[in-house]
Amino acid sequence: MRLLMLSTNGEPCGIADYNSMLGAAFVGLGHLMEIVRIPRLDPAGLRAACGVFRGRLPEFDLGLVQHEWGFFGSDFRQSAQYLTELLKSLRKEPPVAIIMHTGFPVLPRSRTIPFFSKNAKVRAAKRAMVSAINRRACVFTHGDIAREQIAGNGVRRDRVEAIVFPLTAERDVTKPRPLGEQDKVQLAIFGFVSKYKGYETVLNAMRLLPDNITLVIAGGKHPCNPGDETLDSILGFLHTGAWPRPTMPRLPGKFTTADRDRLRNRVRVTGYLSQTEIVNILNGTDIALAIYPEGPLGSGALGQMLSLGRPVIASAIPAFREVQQRGNCLKLIPARAPFELTELILELIRDHAERLRLHENALALARKCTFESLARHIIKVMK
């Protein structure tokens, strides 16, 4: 089969990495694959890329679009309109699959006359996009809950296929080590620094944990999201012990100069990392953290952690509950519970057998839910 993919490519982007690994899986199965690159923050370049995809698609047996709202516009309305235009412009053959990496946003209620309101125009753009999807594409999304959410927004159920977020079954993995009470312990949060990744909860827990426990925030600002203020919030917390615009009660007691120095000495933000550096840091991590108060339909950061067999504490958001149901490879807690997180970290440090169990179960899931199995599934569904 010949596949033409429309995706970000060759840049610091989790979806670009996802597409590269999926493309390699297609090639490994004997299929021909080519990529039309989506340029970020370049409307003219995006229009040209969509034109190339549209013009070349008849040469192929399947078109595959990697979708994230920010790829197609600066806001939901613009993004929906662009995807609608693309789908309407395509011929009836060959078939087109869309892998949706983020769900539909919750649209606010209108406070003005509905016909004239901005929200009405946004909803009209959504309806037009859903109609175009129902006529021309099949949507793949990560997990049953995401499938229900997309169907609930009007996409026909027979047009939405739930898939498992694929892992990579890394070979170079390190087993969890036994830990004594005085051993230095490394925690890690992985991926581009983004507001949804739960740093507020983790940093509050770091104030409660003993001095031998350190935290690596393994990543930096996303180059395509320079306005995100999360990194500044992290650095501010290290100086003040408080999160701006907090979502949970502040810890009791004063935050002294000694507290500040103690915290800053134990928390490190790495900035952008190469793939080799990511593997080295994660293999040196005793417990990985994914305490997202909310989150995407699938998480490449969590996928990296599990692919390397790291013991992971994660928040009980729907996407992570589905991972736990499939692999029994996570310890789940509420998203905004720093005291519970603190106690669970200390418990896992003491329980070497439990960390080994999480390690083995994560690797078993990674061997089962591969990019190759996803590629086979997409071909089977789209034939």
**Could you tell me which residues come within 8 angstroms of residue 160 by beta carbon, excluding any fewer than 6 positions away?**
138, 139, 140, 141, 147, 150, 151
Nearest to 47 by CA among 74, 82, 13, 77: 82
Residue 377 included in any domain: no
Name the residue with higher pLDDT: 128 or 102. 128
| SS3 assignment for 190-240 | ECCECHHHCHHHHHHHHHHCCCCEEEEEECCECCCCCCCCHHHHHHHHHHH
Residue 231 included in any domain: yes
CATH number at residue 356: 3.40.50.2000
Q: What is the pLDDT of residue 222?
A: 80
- Per residue in 333-347, is it b (16+ CB within 10 Å) or e — as a string? bebbbbeebbebbbe
Give me the percent of the chain exceeding a pLDDT of 90.
72
Residue 378 included in any domain: no
Residues 198 and 316 in one domain: yes
Q: What is the pLDDT of residue 324?
A: 96
Residue 147 CA to residue 144 CA, distance in Å, equals: 5
Q: What is the pLDDT of residue 24?
A: 95
Q: Choose one of 116, 131, 163: the last residue of a domain.
A: 163
Mean pLDDT in the chain?
Answer: 91
Residues 21 and 83 in one domain: yes
Asked if the model's pLDDT at residue 135 lies above 70, the reply is yes
Residues 150 and 195 in one domain: no
Q: What is the pLDDT of residue 81?
A: 93
List pLDDT tens digits, range 163-220: 999 998 777 899 999 999 889 999 999 988 988 899 999 999 999 999 999 999 998 8
Residues 136 and 34 in one domain: yes
SS3 20: helix
List pLDDT tens digits, range 242-272: 999 999 999 999 999 999 999 999 999 999 8
Residues 148 and 195 in one domain: no
Residues 220 and 350 in one domain: yes
Residue 75 included in any domain: yes
Residue 383 included in any domain: no
> Taking the chain, what is the end-to-end CA distance rounded to the nearest angstrom?
10
- CA 159, 164, 166, 169 torsion: positive or negative? negative
Q: Which domain holds residue 255?
A: 185-368
Angle at 155 between CA 196 and CA 83, to 5 degrees: 70
**Could you tell me which residues come within 8 angstroms of residue 117 by beta carbon, excluding any fewer than 6 positions away?**
110, 111
Q: What is the pLDDT of residue 116?
A: 52
Q: What is the pLDDT of residue 296?
A: 64
Average pLDDT over residues 74-90: 92
Residues 298 and 239 in one domain: yes
Query: Which pLDDT band holds residue 108 (cuts at 50, 70, 90)?
Result: low
List pLDDT tens digits, range 283-340: 999 999 999 987 666 788 899 999 999 999 999 998 899 999 999 999 999 999 999 9
Residue 345 CA to residue 212 CA, distance in Å, equals: 12
Q: Structurally, how many domains does the chain consist of? A: 2
> Which helix (H) or strand (E) segment is 66 a member of?
strand 62-67
Residue 168 included in any domain: no
Residues 123 and 255 in one domain: no
Query: Which pLDDT band holds residue 118 (cuts at 50, 70, 90)?
Result: low
The Cα-based distances of 162 to 90, 157, 290, 297 in angstroms read 24, 10, 22, 11
Q: What is the pTM for the complete model shown?
A: 0.89
| Beta-bridge partner residues of 6 | 36, 65
